[in-house]
Structures are given as C-alpha cells and as structure tokens.
C-alpha cells in the first residue's frame, strides 16, 4: 500500500490540513473539505480528486 503523503506548505512550512473550501462553477457556489495550509490557505487538490469528484460535479452543473 502507498504510504500516506505528508504535504507541507512551502512558504509556511506547516503541514496541510483538511479545511472547508469554497468552489464556484457556472454561477453555482458550494464547499468541500480539501487539504490547505492552516496559515496561508494554500490549497492542494490531487489528480484523482480533480478527475474524479470535481469532474463529476462539473458535468452535473453543465447538464443542469
């Protein structure tokens, strides 16, 4: 099994934590928990999230 990644913010040198984050697409706004720097708010979205759930919601909104 793949080891869990430890991700830190380059500027703040703090470990990223899951945090409520707002997204917007085609005039719709919503939120989800994604990894962010607790200090500066730098976001991290992995590829599987971008191509998975995010792409799915994008498609739903396009068809709405």
Binding site for other proteins (CB under 8 A): 3, 5-11, 16, 21-26, 29, 35, 37, 41-45, 47, 50-51, 54-55, 57-58, 61-64
Q: How near is the Cβ of 37 to other proteins at its closest, in Å?
A: 8
CB–CB of 23/30 below 8 Å? Answer: yes
Bridge partners of 19?
34
Helix, coil or strand: residue 25: strand
CB of 51 to other proteins, least distance (A): 7
Closest by Cα among 35, 38, 40, 31 to 7:
35
**CB closer to other proteins, 1 vs 3:** 3
């Amino acid at each position: 099994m793949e080891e869990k990644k430890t991700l830190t913010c380059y500027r703040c040198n703090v470990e990223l934590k899951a945090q409520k984050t707002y997204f917007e697409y085609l005039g719709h706004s919503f939120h989800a928990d994604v990894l962010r720097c607790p200090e500066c708010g730098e976001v991290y979205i992995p590829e599987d999230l971008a191509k998975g759930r995010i792409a799915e919601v994008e498609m739903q909104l396009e068809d709405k």
